[in-house]
Amino acid sequence: MSDSPVGAIASAVAVVIAKKQEVAVGDAAPPRIHASSALDLLQPLPLTAAGRPALFGSEVEIYSEENISLYDFSNKTPFQRGRCSITTHRLFYLDETKNPPRALFLPLEWIAKISKEAGFLARSAKLRVDIMTTTAPVVSAYIKLSFKDGGRDDFFSPLEATLKRRAWKDTQPSHLTDRRLQKRQFNAADAGIAGILRRQEAAQKETAELAATAFSDLKNLMDKARDMVALIERYKDTMKAAEAADDTDADADAGRQDEAADISKLSALMLDMGITSPVTRENAGSAYYQQLARQLAEFLGAHMPRNGGIMTLSDIYCMFNRARGVELVSPDDVYHAAMLQRKLQLGYHVRKFDGGLIVLQSDSHREDRVADRLLAMATKASTGYITSSDVSIELHTSFPLAWEYLKVAEELGKLCRDDTFEGVNFYPNAFPDFIAKLAPPDVGLTEL
């Protein structure tokens, strides 16, 4: 019977049914566990030195709202009147009233559903967030966000749009992968001028296609924001990879000839870049100036040391806007952000010189050390004196700031000035030594 066609068909059907049963068992939904506390599913959020959330390389902030209280299921928690932010990958909750701030985050991929709950009489409008983990065992719970000062609907819309966009699934966009960062075998067809031109043409075409797609309309621009960030991150990785490349491989050298020109251009391009998710009024809400101040402190962390721990507000304004790209800020915004540095204890404070120049300087900056350095410059100068131009070149600072440095050194008694027709020259102050030589041994300088 088993050798007959009917028997063969019956055996095949039995095998198919058995396989379907195996698949059904394998595809069965994993058991679901109801969490006793929804806060257990929220993870600690790392913060930068300036108190800003540490974002992933391709993560972008979208919207933020203040004065939000966090509920564990329907129960109140110690997290009251904090700030809640939406990014392309996570939902943040920050309680900045504590020192250090308390911060939590929830991956967006764990959000199963969001729904509105209307307020009643004295109750605030709430947003319910149903949570379901994506790994076995599946844990479910929900939290509520209570909007004490309103803004629930304004927060709901961008969160809903971000959940639909599901940007966290594109962990590595294939069309933006920099193939130059991958270890590739040497190919004779890629060598020479023709190979270099082909690779450059392909890279330019890829970038042009991305830009054309991203800027076609506003909605596309929002959708492609992550890709644009990834493009910038790719340039950074290119520079790092080139610095760590093995120069002893002859074939690799032949294949990387086109990267040498790229690196020289990218070094200048990336000097002031690094703000891939700039703070704006739209994504920071009422906390705009505080968040801008924190982002400014992060930005200055790489630039202040190169400028001696002090920079004019005009220089900061230009460099900060250059790094922000199209999200420009006004001089008034930069001034407000600078004035908040000391209040937020970010390591900087504003100082106004007698001449009217306003600077932002590091809390560790010491003017007596600068004055000693200027005295050493004047002592070693071949002319016997220094000018503000000399100081500007030596300290790599602006001319107005160099002039203020010289006046501070004069006030501290390190230098003395000579006003001439050609300009103002500053000499080492020899008067204390001169008076000390003329004064009797038992007479102090104050008695002369």
CATH number at residue 133: 2.30.29.30
Question: 359 in a domain, yes or no?
Answer: no
Instruction: State which amino acid sits at residue 177.
Output: T
Picking from 241, 233, 304, the residue whose alpha carbon sits closest to that of residue 274 is 233
Residue 103: count other Cβ atoms within 10 Å of its Cβ. Answer: 24
Question: 448 in a domain, yes or no?
Answer: no
The whole-number pLDDT of residue 309 equals 87
Note whether 288 and 323 are same-domain residues. Answer: yes
Q: What are phi and psi of 183, to 5 degrees?
A: -75, 115
Question: 227 in a domain, yes or no?
Answer: yes
pLDDT by position in tens, the chain (length 448): 445 554 554 555 455 444 444 444 444 555 678 878 899 999 999 998 888 898 887 888 899 999 999 999 999 999 998 999 999 999 999 988 777 788 999 999 999 999 998 877 667 889 999 999 988 788 899 999 999 888 899 999 999 999 999 888 875 444 434 444 344 454 555 556 676 777 777 777 777 776 666 555 545 555 555 565 566 666 666 666 665 655 545 455 545 555 555 555 554 455 445 566 788 877 777 788 999 999 999 999 888 888 888 899 999 999 998 888 778 899 999 999 999 999 999 999 999 988 888 999 998 888 888 899 999 999 999 999 999 999 988 888 888 899 999 999 999 999 999 998 888 999 999 888 888 878 766 655 555 5
Q: State the Cα–Cα distance between residues 39 and 109, nearest whole angstrom.
A: 16
Note whether 64 and 183 are same-domain residues. Answer: no
Note whether 142 and 258 are same-domain residues. Answer: no
Counting the structural domains of the chain, the total is 5
Note whether 290 and 325 are same-domain residues. Answer: yes
CATH of residue 428's domain is: 1.10.10.10
Helix 313-324 to helix 331-343 angle, to the nearest 10 degrees?
Answer: 110
Question: 278 in a domain, yes or no?
Answer: no
Q: Considering 243, 269, 295, which residue would you say is the last residue of a domain?
A: 269
The whole-number pLDDT of residue 366 equals 84
Question: 356 in a domain, yes or no?
Answer: no
Question: 152 in a domain, yes or no?
Answer: yes
Kindly list the distances between the CA atom of residue 203 and the CA atoms of 82, 159, 369, in Å, as whole numbers in the listed order. 44, 34, 49
Q: State the Cα–Cα distance between residues 447 and 434, nearest whole angstrom.
A: 15
Name 81's Cβ contacts closer than 8 Å, sequence gap at least 6.
66, 67, 68, 69, 97, 148
Note whether 44 and 155 are same-domain residues. Answer: yes
Q: Are strands 32-34 and 138-147 parallel, antiparallel or unpaired?
A: parallel
Note whether 213 and 312 are same-domain residues. Answer: no
Question: 440 in a domain, yes or no?
Answer: no
Q: Considering 169, 193, 215, which residue would you say is the last residue of a domain?
A: 169
Note whether 48 and 151 are same-domain residues. Answer: yes
Q: Considering 118, 148, 169, which residue would you say is the last residue of a domain?
A: 169
Domain around 154: 38-169
Please state the pTM of the whole predicted model.
0.61
Sign of the dihedral through C-alpha 245, 248, 252, 253: positive
Q: Report helix, strand and coil shares of the chain as percent, to nearest 5.
A: 50, 20, 30
Residue 300 in contact with residue 312, Cβ under 8 Å?
no
The whole-number pLDDT of residue 92 equals 95
Note whether 232 and 143 are same-domain residues. Answer: no
Q: State the Cα–Cα distance between residues 126 and 151, nearest whole angstrom.
A: 10
Question: 429 in a domain, yes or no?
Answer: yes
The whole-number pLDDT of residue 243 equals 59
Note whether 158 and 87 are same-domain residues. Answer: yes
Note whether 138 and 244 are same-domain residues. Answer: no
Note whether 391 and 406 are same-domain residues. Answer: yes
Note whether 184 and 89 are same-domain residues. Answer: no
